[in-house]
């Protein structure tokens, strides 16, 4: 995948370029315009936005690598390609490199899951994090680090939910409202000052589990930080 630059020719934006040109659901017309807007934000806001973009680009790259692994497997199982790949060696070398990255990432992910299972027990891991099994090794490496710090999975899950709740209810430019745990949430749980949230009916949603409905809508419509307290809607 080529690196997006300001000199790219005019064309329909790729997924990667769309990520870089989208901030807070606002789509900018160029990377230069996006950059100018980012520079107008505070350093912390700018970091949160760009770090979020970087995380999404990593996910895109992981998915592309998985597709390359599939393609490599497909051609290796078809004799029609046996003597023909040499016609375009540069392309197939890149496919092989991407396939190798995918296999390495899959191995790291499985190692992280195995460490979590060894620490917390397989049944507990699959109960609490089953919906994250499609996530990449980047996410599972973070879950593994939480497991190494906290032996009690219930305490770990509460802290992750507290971090997601804090982020969603303290909105500001560049801060995602995604209910799935993000990189910033795994960092936030290290904060000894992170308050425990009374989550009530929408607790499951704060790990990306199915939308519990009305309680979640109340969370999304909650007054911004400083306008109310978590207890106002915890129920």
pLDDT tens, residue order, the chain (235 aa): 443 333 333 333 458 999 999 987 789 999 999 999 999 998 988 988 898 899 889 989 999 999 999 999 999 989 999 889 999 999 999 999 999 999 999 999 999 999 999 999 999 999 888 878 888 888 899 999 999 999 999 899 888 888 888 888 887 766 777 777 877 788 888 877 787 766 555 555 555 554 444 444 444 454 444 433 333 323 2
User: In this predicted structure, what is the pLDDT of residue 205?
Assistant: 53
Query: How far is 156 from 170, CA to CA, in rounded Å?
Result: 21
Q: How far is CA 129 from the centre of its chain?
A: 14
Cβ within 8 Å of residue 156, ≥6 positions away: 120, 146, 147, 150
Report which of 199, 225, 51 is spatially closest to residue 138, judged by C-alpha positions. 51
């Amino acid at each position: 995948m080529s690196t997006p630059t300001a000199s790219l020719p005019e064309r329909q934006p790729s997924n990667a370029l769309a990520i870089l040109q989208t901030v807070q659901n606002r789509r900018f017309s160029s990377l230069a315009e996006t950059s100018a807007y980012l520079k107008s934000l505070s350093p912390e806001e700018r970091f949160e936005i760009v770090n979020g973009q970087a995380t999404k680009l990593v996910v895109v790259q992981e998915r592309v690598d998985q597709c390359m692994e599939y393609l490599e497997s497909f051609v290796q199982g078809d004799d029609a390609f046996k003597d023909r790949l040499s016609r375009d060696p540069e392309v197939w070398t890149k496919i092989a490199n991407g396939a190798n990255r995918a296999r390495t990432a899959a191995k790291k992910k499985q190692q992280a899951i195995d460490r979590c299972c060894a620490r917390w027990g397989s049944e507990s891991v699959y109960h609490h994090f089953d919906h994250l099994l499609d996530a990449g090794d980047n996410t599972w490496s973070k879950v593994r680090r939480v497991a190494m710090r906290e032996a009690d999975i219930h305490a770990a899950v509460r802290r992750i939910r507290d971090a997601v709740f804090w982020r969603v209810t303290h909105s500001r430019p560049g801060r995602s409202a995604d209910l799935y745990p993000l990189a910033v949430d795994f960092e936030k749980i290290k904060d000894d000052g992170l308050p425990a949230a009374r989550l009530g009916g929408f607790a499951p949603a704060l790990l990306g589990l199915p939308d519990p409905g009305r309680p979640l809508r109340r969370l999304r419509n909650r007054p911004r930080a400083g306008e109310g307290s978590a207890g106002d809607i915890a129920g």
